[in-house]
Amino acid sequence: MKISTPEKHGLDSKILIKSDDAIREDLPSVLSFMVVRHGRIIYEKYYHGNSKDSLVVVYSITKSVISALTGIALREHFLSSVGQKLSDIFPEYVTNVADPRKKEITLENLLSMTGGLASCDNTFEAWTRSTDWFEYTINQPMLHDPGKKFDYNTGLTHLLSGILTKTTGMATKAFADKFLFGPLGITNYTWERDPLGYYTGGFGLRLTPRDMAKFGYLYLMDGIYNNRQIVPQQWVKESFSIHSYPEKVFGYGYLWWLEKLKDTIYYREYGSFNAIGYGGQFIFIVPELDMITVTTCKEENPEDTPEYDAIKHLINDYVLPAVKLEG
The predicted-structure confidence for 265-277, as pLDDT tens digits, reads as follows 999 999 999 999 9
* Residue 306 placed within a domain: yes
Please state the domain count of the chain: 1
- Say whether 183 sits in a helix, a strand or coil: helix
Average pLDDT over residues 134-155: 98
Instruction: Report CA dihedral (301, 131, 114, 242) to the nearest 10 degrees.
Output: 50
CB 254 within 8 A of CB 266: no
Report if residue 250 sits inside a domain. Answer: yes
Instruction: Give dist(CA 311, CA 30) in Å, integer.
Output: 10
Residue 213 in any domain: the answer is no
Using CA atoms, how far apart are residues 164 and 217, in angstroms rounded to an integer?
A: 24
Evaluate whether residue 202 is within a structural domain. no
Q: How confident is the model at residue 300 (pLDDT cuts 50, 70, 90)?
A: low
Mean pLDDT in the chain?
95
Within a domain: 34: yes
pLDDT band at 249 (very low <50, low <70, confident <90, very high): confident
Q: Is residue 278 part of a domain?
A: yes
Terminal-residue alpha carbon distance, the chain: 29
Range of the domain at 281: 2-52+244-322
Quote the crossing angle between the two packed helices 154-168 and 172-179, to the nearest 10°.
70
Assigned domain for 273 exists: yes
What integer pLDDT is reported at residue 134 of this predicted model?
98
70 domain-assigned: no
* pLDDT of 327 strictly over 50: no
